[in-house]
Amino acid sequence: MRALCVAIALLGLCASAYGQGESSTSRHLLAGVHAFKDGHYEDALVELRIVARAPDAPEDLAFYLGPTLYKLGRYHEALVVFLASHAAPDALTDFYLAQTYYRLGLYRSARGVFADLRTRGLGPALDDAAARYIAEVDRGYASAPEPVVVDAYLAQGLALADPRLQAAYLEEARQVEQLLPQRHRTDEIVWSLGRAYAALGDVRARPLLEPIAAAGGPHAAEATALLAKLPP
Amino acid sequence: MRRFMWIFAVVGLLGARAAHADDAHALMAEALAAQIDHPTPVHLPVTAKAPQHAAAQSAVKRGIAPQAAAATARADQARAQGQAQAAAHQAAAAAAAAAGQAQAQAAKERAAHPHPTHQTTR
């Protein structure tokens, strides 16, 4: 009889927890998913924003929120959501990340993600789509780009306030610069990219800033200070 | 036996909650796969202007609806297009004026120095 009471009490607790979850985060998540599926992206965003504020928001929220922002044409916000996510890699999330890069004109970054996805083994439909994206980027870069393309990405990156977006544009500038027959604003790109990564506490800043600190140039002192703040 | 039944019920309820999250994930995965887009032609940037979507994002931060931001962007684009068209019209007008001046100059020169063949025919 005692066991029965304990079991009923446990059942009640679980039912309560289940009911709460069902009535808040899970319900909003499911509503968001249904809205997305029906193409009602504004409604999906409203639901997913509620989920994002919940203490029990799923770790892979970017899987839901990133594509919704992408579908709404809010590419910068989508990119920030994708890049800030710490969830385990997921092929579909990465596919939408790559599409977001592409829509922002960050074609080299998009190509890199699509190419990586293809090595991870997508289904035939996604693989075919990724191949078409890659072919389109390769067509655009069939001949060496003009230096002005690098200038444009660099300027766009420096004009953005969010260090994540800054880093994305500067990475693109760096990748395009590597396609040029000659160096073009390499030092400026590396310094700016190092600073953007340092602002994010991203250790990718280290290999960029260390040579600058060692060279003893005009940015050496600042580079040293930024390196000191980086996590080991 | 009854005790086991209760334990199964508890486990079943917990499992149901996990399945709920799985449902959302599976549904979303299905929707994402069905709604992938196709690539548009690549347009490499050639001007050092600020990104197009920066305005939309800052508008979102200010609480302006995305449609309003998009309308603003469209208005900017139209304004830019209008400026480009105006510039083209100015250039065309300048070219026409230059052509007119050249024609007038040629007419003056012809009047001042009549063509030899015309002289002979006269």
Give whole-number Cα distances, A25 to A16, A119, A149, A167, B97, in Å: 14, 35, 44, 33, 70
A107/B56 Cβ within 8 A = no
| pLDDT band for position B87 (cuts 50, 70, 90) | very low
Please check whether residue B65 touches A, CB under 8 A.
Answer: no
Please check whether residue B79 touches A, CB under 8 A.
Answer: no
Q: How far is B10 from chain A (nearest CA, A)?
A: 6
| pLDDT band for position A24 (cuts 50, 70, 90) | confident
Measured distance CA(B20)–CA(B5) in Å, rounded: 22
Q: What is the pLDDT of residues A165-205, one digit of tens each?
A: 999 999 999 999 999 999 999 999 999 999 999 999 999 99
| pLDDT band for position A232 (cuts 50, 70, 90) | confident
The reported pLDDT for the residue numbered B104 is 52
A96/B28 Cβ within 8 A = no
Judged against a pLDDT cut of 80, whether residue B55 lies above it is answered with: no
Q: Which is more confident, A20 or A211?
A: A211
Q: How far is B4 from chain A (nearest CA, A)?
A: 10
For residues B44-48, average pLDDT = 84
User: Do the Cβ atoms of A7 and B3 come closer than 8 Å?
Assistant: yes
B7/A37 Cβ within 8 A = no
For residues A101-120, average pLDDT = 97
Chain B hits for A95, CB-CB cut-off 8 Å, are 32, 36
Question: How many alpha carbons fall within 13 Å on the CB side of residue A117?
Answer: 29
The reported pLDDT for the residue numbered B105 is 56
Judged against a pLDDT cut of 60, whether residue A230 lies above it is answered with: yes
Judged against a pLDDT cut of 70, whether residue B1 lies above it is answered with: no
The reported pLDDT for the residue numbered B84 is 44
For residues A71-88, average pLDDT = 97
The reported pLDDT for the residue numbered A146 is 95
Q: How far is B12 from chain A (nearest CA, A)?
A: 10
| pLDDT band for position B79 (cuts 50, 70, 90) | very low
ipTM of the complex, rounded to two decimals: 0.86
Measured distance CA(A39)–CA(A71) in Å, rounded: 9
Nearest CA in chain A to B28: A33
A160/B54 Cβ within 8 A = yes
Judged against a pLDDT cut of 90, whether residue A209 lies above it is answered with: yes
For residues B86-93, average pLDDT = 46
Give whole-number Cα distances, A211 to A109, A133, A206, B31, in Å: 24, 36, 9, 46
| pLDDT band for position A2 (cuts 50, 70, 90) | low
Please check whether residue B29 touches A, CB under 8 A.
Answer: yes
Average pLDDT, chain B: 57
B51/A160 Cβ within 8 A = yes
| pLDDT band for position B56 (cuts 50, 70, 90) | very low
B32/A140 Cβ within 8 A = no
